[in-house]
Amino acid sequence: MGDSGPARRKGVHFHGAKNPADVIAYFGDSPDKLYQIEQWLPALEELAQNRPVAIVMRHAESFAIAKELTVLPLILAETQPDLIDLYADNDFRLAIYVNNSMRNFQSMAEPSIIHVHVDHGESDKTSSISNQLKAYDKVFVAGQAAKERCLRALWGFEPSKLVSIGRPPLDGDYKSILPADKRWTVLYAPTWQGENEANNFTSLDLLGSDIVQQLLDSGVRVVYRPHPRIAEMGDSETQRAHDQICKSLSSANSRGGRHVVSTDCALFDLFEDVDVLVTDVSSVGLDFLYLHPDRGLILTDRHNDSVRMQTISPIGAELARITADTVGDIARMIGDSKSDEAALASRLRLKAYYFGDLTEGQSTSRFLEAIDAAIDERNASGEARGEDRFSA
């Protein structure tokens, strides 16, 4: 799939070592989506201890910013002819894709490379089960929930493509970054509004201002974490709700509230100081569940439809409690989420369902093993056909 109009050749640009790479991580998007690959950098850097890894980028501004994010070699191939030349001049064995960008298909046209989708989060959103997944050679998923989601939603999907690896981006070393506070800390982290209503799970426009006001009234420390793509929301109810929340927290802080609006801190570091997370159906809640199943987790349901939630999201079906009807009861929900033994049991069971029975570091190990296995499988397939595709 080409760009619209003729592609003007700009040349391939390198940053860092130009040594041949076995594995590439492909990222074709603009800087507003860099968070999608940034979370994978530690796992990719770990992979690079055993196999040479490079990141192939298609956007010059993203390429410039990424120089400050990783020690991995970077390659810029802005036009499709540049990308074709890059692949023709190298023997890349496997490509990793962290999203479903349409530009992925320009890369996936290359038949000599194993194409592996890993995504940038485990989520019950419809965007996690795009029919595009059928085009990849392998789809690395977190666990059983993702496997069932794919097989249920994607007609004709080949089950053997699915490989459970847990969630490598969560195998980090996180640090406390918020000032000490004797109050409970509640993080409100709404998701993006999505491309259409079917994929819209944000609580921000409908419930966000009320959620934050109820939290302020309950006496907790409020940390508000807007989605990285908030700048795209323009003149909308979502943007107005965001502005109102920032205004409310600023007003409370002028009276000594010491609340936080966090846009730059690493989300997983923020988790370290959080007693309860309030979020929507998205990867944020599941990441928190994986890292801190002993802490409170409350989900929202913008549609106020428990039957729909039962169908689309196991975690939402059990933990989604905040709707237009219940938003005034947040203070009680927070206390229950921390103290209710049944809620803790549900979180532990859900963690196993979504991520498997993994301990710290095991997801990254599974990721590395899955990469090796995919390359070995392709080698064996080539040998069976009399090819020497990946010879040393």
Structural contact between residues 248 and 213, judged by C-beta atoms closer than 8 angstroms: yes
Per-residue model confidence (pLDDT) at position 386: 61
For residue range 226-284, what is the model confidence (pLDDT) as tens digits? Answer: 987 776 666 688 899 999 999 999 999 999 999 999 998 889 999 999 999 999 999 99
Q: Name the domain count of the chain.
A: 2
Report the relative pairing of strands 260-261 and 276-279 from DSSP bridges: unpaired
User: Do 365 and 227 fall within a single domain?
Assistant: no
Residue range of the domain that includes 51: 12-171+361-384
Q: 80, 106 in Cβ contact below 8 A?
A: yes
> Do residues 222 and 212 make contact, with C-beta atoms less than 8 angstroms apart?
yes
Q: How confident is the model at residue 172 (pLDDT cuts 50, 70, 90)?
A: confident
Q: Could you tell me if 350 and 366 lie in one domain?
A: no
347 shares a domain with 366: no
- Which of 118-127, 197-206, 345-354 shows the highest mean pLDDT? 345-354
- What is the side-by-side order of every strand in the sheet holding 162-164? 12-15, 74-77, 53-57, 23-27, 94-97, 114-117, 138-141, 162-164
- pLDDT tens, 367-390? 999 999 999 998 887 665 565 545
Q: Distance between CA 134 and CA 120 in Å, rounded? A: 17
Is 391 part of any domain? no
Across-strand partners of 162?
139
Q: In what order do the strands lie in the sheet with 221-224?
A: 260-261, 221-224, 185-189, 276-279, 296-300, 320-322
User: What letter does residue 34 receive in the DSSP assignment?
Assistant: T
CA–CA separation, 261 and 345 (whole Å): 31
Q: What is the mean pLDDT of the chain?
A: 91
DSSP-assigned letter for residue 205: I
Same domain for 196 and 167: no
The residue type at 221:
R
Which CATH number does the domain housing residue 60 bear? Answer: 3.40.50.11720
Is the residue at 1 inside a domain? Answer: no
Structure letter (DSSP) for residue 206: I
> What does pTM read for this prediction?
0.86
